Amino acid sequence: MSQKPLTLAEKVWNDHLVVKGEDGAPDLLYIDLHLVHEVTSPQAFDGLRLAGRPVRRPDLTIATEDHNTPTLDIDKPIADLTSRTQIHALRDNAKEFGVRIHSLGDIEQGIVHVVGPQLGLTMPGLTVVCGDSHTSTHGAFGALAFGIGTSEVEHVLATQTLPLKPFKTMAINVEGTLRPGVTSKDIILAIIAKIGASGGQGYVLEYRGSAIRALSMEARMTICNMSIEAGARAGMVAPDETTFAYLKGRPHAPEGENWDAAVEYWKTLQTDEGAKFDVEVFLDADHLDPFVTWGTNPGQGVSLLDSVPNPDTFDDPNERAAAQRALEYMDLTAGTPMKSIKVDTVFLGSCTNSRIEDLRAAASVLKGRKKADHIRMLVVPGSARVRIEAEAEGLDQVFKEFGAEWRFAGCSMCLGMNPDQLAPGERAASTSNRNFEGRQGKGGRTHLVSPLVAAATAIRGTLSSPADLEG
Amino acid sequence: MEKFEVYSGIAVPLRRSSVDTDQIIPAVFLKRITKTGYDDALFSAWRSDPEFVLNKLEYAQGSVLFAGPDFGTGSSREHAVWALRDYGFKAVFSSKFADIFLGNAGKQGLVTGVISDSETEAIWQLLETNPGLEAKVDLVAREVTVGDLTVKFEIDEYTRWRLLEGLDDIGLTLRDEQSITDFEARREPWRPKTLPAKGA
């Protein structure tokens, strides 16, 4: 028992060591689950073909179509030829290399980070990778999950391993109880505003504390999803009864003896008492307000009750310059109350906030109300399953009666690779994860918000929270 | 991968911080299935502005980029590195790079050198008053020279070794194939398999 106390991230790392790196060489880590989509994989499969290499473990690999897929008329051929070509390249590659694929129209199709957990493939203690930075989502289960580039996708396809240098660890302690109308999206936006869009760089974040423990799995996924927006490769939450209850009975969850063995192991996946994090950060959940962004990186956020900040108040010259540039791009003036900002479009969707609980939360606000006349609202479920579940609950009717568009599953307007885009100058309240210049369409302006704020904003036409609807 | 030791090329001052990969290459260009031919996509939105640095004749042939802090943040798209490479860039300098971008650059032979903000500022000023100056990037000595200014840069030692040797990562890993096979034999049975497929 004299072993050095370890953090959760260190335990998962150590359990996947194939070769310990020496003399500055990286460790070689085994990868339990490799998620694949159409955008970052074609060149990787091409590399395998050129080198005459197979996919080492097709049985640890799964592909889905999400980034390019249309959210309307999915029974017709994809109108955009380059998108269609890319989707077909994935289908051809999956077939040639024996990789399981869920194509547009398949009942398991959807955003890769919604599909993995839904199928019960994402579990505590795994290493999970995908050629997508929001792979951090899967950390909500206590998995070490991170985004990789296409060369690394090829590397994992060929070897089921990755050479990696150990990360540093950062504890994010969130204590207290969220007030009504405040959600896990607000927690993560507040954390990013606090540590900055590059504050987590080089770290694995571990979200801890009573406020995190109280969250559902889906709410934890929202938080871990945006770890990358703080610059961190990965974010994790230690598994607990909430995690086990979510997993039990899912299609790929272990059964019988394997379930018992797994749970026994998963229970050890806690940061040991006395383990040392490189950095610790604290956030008070009791007094947190709904959070929104005003700028063009996810760290440029404030309370919804606040105003657009004055760039002159930033001490750091780079931050000041970035804020000035952001206000210009966003067409905002310092001192403007956030709640007075008028938006044109509301987007409810993306791997951050497109799960059933997100749709339920928004629908609970919208029910029986009408949208502001000038608002366009898109509701894009994260997966075909989520869409079916929502329809079984009648949520689609709530959205349609409200005046929103009810779409098919995919990444959609989060990054506008399909026709769902903002026009130049158009302003959106979006439940997605990035407010970068042009992210949702060239010249488009994005305010990141929670599903509840998105819903209230669609009703009032200006950035709002459900509290603004009362009285 | 080609070996990289010493390279000289026209230096470009990119006076911006937090250059995310959506700015380096917008998502509309990610639909292609090739690994080359992205030179037109680099900084596509900014290049429609005639005042953008790469639109100035003196910098148009640039191949060594000096950018503000937090270069390459956001999306994991390796296309960002391919676009820089296809445009002709061999090296990028910044006081801070995003992790995934650093990894991607190293795989593609793009040198990423870390220098301080004040060194970046000094080089920006030098380049703005003397546009068209070359930068000499010496990976052996870990130095970059612009005009009469020479600064040391930092780069991950293992990445530097791979770049100097021109080594391919997959080939290196497959030297450990027996260890991978041994590890696989030890994996617990509860760990998930995607095949055979199970649906809800």
Q: How far is CA B142 from CA A2, B106, B133, B157, in A?
A: 42, 15, 19, 10
Amino acid at site B190: W
Write out the two tokens for A223. Answer: 């938080």
Judge whether A197 is closer than 8 Å to chain B, CB to CB: yes
Identify the pLDDT of residue A3: 81
Which secondary structure element, helix H or strand E, spans residue A431, and what is its range? none
Which secondary structure element, helix H or strand E, spans residue A127, and what is its range? strand A127-130
Q: Which residues make Cβ contacts (< 8 Å) with residue B118, sequence separation at least 6?
A: none
In whole angstroms, what separates CA A137 from the centre of its chain? 5
**What was the ipTM of the complex prediction?**
0.94
The mean pLDDT value for A254-281 works out to: 98
Q: How far is B11 from chain A (nearest CA, A)?
A: 21
Task: Pick the residue of B14, B18, B23, B118 with the most A CBs within 10 A to test the interface with A by mutation.
Answer: B18
> CB B99 to CB A233 under 8 A?
yes
User: Strands A445-448, A427-430: parallel, antiparallel or unpaired by DSSP?
Assistant: parallel
Q: How far is A297 from chain B (nearest CA, A)?
A: 8
> CB B74 to CB A434 under 8 A?
yes
Q: Where are the beta strands (DSSP E) in B44-172?
A: 64-67, 91-94, 111-114, 134-138, 143-146, 149-152
Judge whether A30 is closer than 8 Å to chain B, CB to CB: yes
> CB A28 to CB B170 under 8 A?
no
B-chain CB neighbours of A51 within 8 Å are 170
> CB B192 to CB A123 under 8 A?
yes
Q: Is A130 helix (H, G, I), strand (E, B) or coil?
A: strand
Residue A179 has pLDDT above 80, yes or no: yes
Euclidean distance between CA atoms A185 and A448, whole angstroms:
9
B-chain CB neighbours of A46 within 8 Å are 33, 35
Burial of B131 (0-12, 13-18, 19+ CB in 10 A): middle
> CB A297 to CB B179 under 8 A?
no
Q: How far is B92 from chain A (nearest CA, A)?
A: 18
Write out the two tokens for A324. Answer: 């000035």
The mean pLDDT value for A389-411 works out to: 98
Q: How far is A230 from chain B (nearest CA, A)?
A: 9
CB atoms within 10 A of CB B151: 18
> CB B100 to CB A148 under 8 A?
yes
A-chain CB neighbours of B69 within 8 Å are 198, 318
Euclidean distance between CA atoms A83 and A336, whole angstroms:
40
> CB B190 to CB A32 under 8 A?
no
Judge whether B186 is closer than 8 Å to chain A, CB to CB: no
HEC string for A176-202 = CCCCCCCCHHHHHHHHHHHHCCCCCCC
Judge whether B165 is closer than 8 Å to chain A, CB to CB: no
> CB A436 to CB B20 under 8 A?
yes
Q: Which of A123, A133, A416 sits opposite B75 (nearest CB)?
A: A133
Q: Which of B170, B190, B200 sits opposite A251 (nearest CB)?
A: B200
CB atoms within 10 A of CB A411: 32
Euclidean distance between CA atoms B64 and B66, whole angstroms:
7
Indicate the pTM of the whole model.
0.95
Confidence of residue A21 (pLDDT cuts 50, 70, 90): very high
pLDDT in tens, chain B (200 residues): 789 999 999 999 999 999 999 999 999 999 999 999 999 999 999 999 999 999 999 999 999 999 999 999 999 999 999 999 999 999 999 999 999 999 999 999 999 999 999 999 999 999 999 999 999 999 999 999 999 999 999 999 999 999 999 888 898 999 999 999 999 999 999 999 999 998 75
Q: Which of A248, A181, A183, A171 is nearest to A214 (CA)?
A: A183
Burial of A388 (0-12, 13-18, 19+ CB in 10 A): middle
A-chain CB neighbours of B47 within 8 Å are none
Long-range contacts (CB closer than 8 Å, 24 or more residues apart) made by B169-177: B169/A151, B169/A155, B169/A163, B169/B107, B170/A51, B170/A53, B170/A154, B170/A155, B170/A158, B170/A159, B172/A163, B173/A28, B173/A155, B173/A158, B173/A159, B173/A161, B173/A163, B174/A158, B174/A159, B176/A18, B176/A19, B176/A28, B176/A161, B177/A159
Amino acid at site B49: D
Q: Which of A123, A149, A250 sits opposite B104 (nearest CB)?
A: A149
Confidence of residue A424 (pLDDT cuts 50, 70, 90): very high
Helices (H) and strands (E) in chain A, counts: 15, 19
Q: Let me know the angle formed at the C-alpha of A341 by A336 and A347, rounded to the nearest 5 degrees.
A: 145
> CB A149 to CB B78 under 8 A?
yes
The mean pLDDT value for A110-122 works out to: 98
Identify the pLDDT of residue B200: 55
Euclidean distance between CA atoms A69 and A91, whole angstroms:
13
CB atoms within 10 A of CB A133: 27
> CB B31 to CB A39 under 8 A?
yes
- What single-letter DSSP state applies at residue A208? E
Judge whether B175 is closer than 8 Å to chain A, CB to CB: no
Q: How far is CA A3 from CA A167, A215, A260, A268, A274, in A?
A: 20, 32, 25, 14, 11
In which order are the strands placed within the sheet that holds A161-164? A17-19, A27-30, A161-164
Confidence of residue A406 (pLDDT cuts 50, 70, 90): very high
In whole angstroms, what separates CA A17 from the centre of its chain? 27
A-chain CB neighbours of B19 within 8 Å are none
User: Strands A27-30, A161-164: parallel, antiparallel or unpaired by DSSP?
Assistant: antiparallel
Are A224 and A147 in contact by the 8 Å Cβ rule? The answer is no
In whole angstroms, what separates CA A370 from the centre of its chain? 29
Euclidean distance between CA atoms A243 and A240, whole angstroms:
5
Identify the pLDDT of residue B171: 87
Are A79 and A70 in contact by the 8 Å Cβ rule? The answer is yes
Which secondary structure element, helix H or strand E, spans residue A151, and what is its range? helix A150-159
pLDDT digits (tens, 9 = 90+) for A432-459: 999 999 999 999 999 999 999 999 999 9
DSSP sequence for A293-360: E-SSSTT-EEETTSBPPPGGG-SSHHHHHHHHHHHHHHT--TT-BGGG-B-SEEEE-TTTS-SHHHHH
A291-322 b/e (C-beta count within 10 Å ≥ 16 → b): bbbbbbbbbbbbbbeebbbebeeeeeebbebb
Angle between helices A356-366 and A217-225 (to 10 degrees): 100
Write out the two tokens for A8. Answer: 């959760």
In which order are the strands placed within the sheet that holds B149-152? B111-114, B91-94, B64-67, B6-14, B134-138, B143-146, B149-152
Interface of A with B in 87-146 (CB under 8 A): 89, 100, 107-108, 118-121, 123, 126, 131-133
CB atoms within 10 A of CB B15: 14
A-chain CB neighbours of B16 within 8 Å are 325
> CB A198 to CB B157 under 8 A?
no
pLDDT digits (tens, 9 = 90+) for A205-254: 999 999 999 999 999 999 999 999 999 999 999 999 999 999 999 999 99
Burial of B101 (0-12, 13-18, 19+ CB in 10 A): buried
Rg (CA), chain B: 20
Phi, psi of A303 (to 5 degrees): -60, 145
Are A268 and A158 in contact by the 8 Å Cβ rule? The answer is no
Asked, as a colleague might, if the bond just before A180 is cis with ω within 30 of 0, I would say no
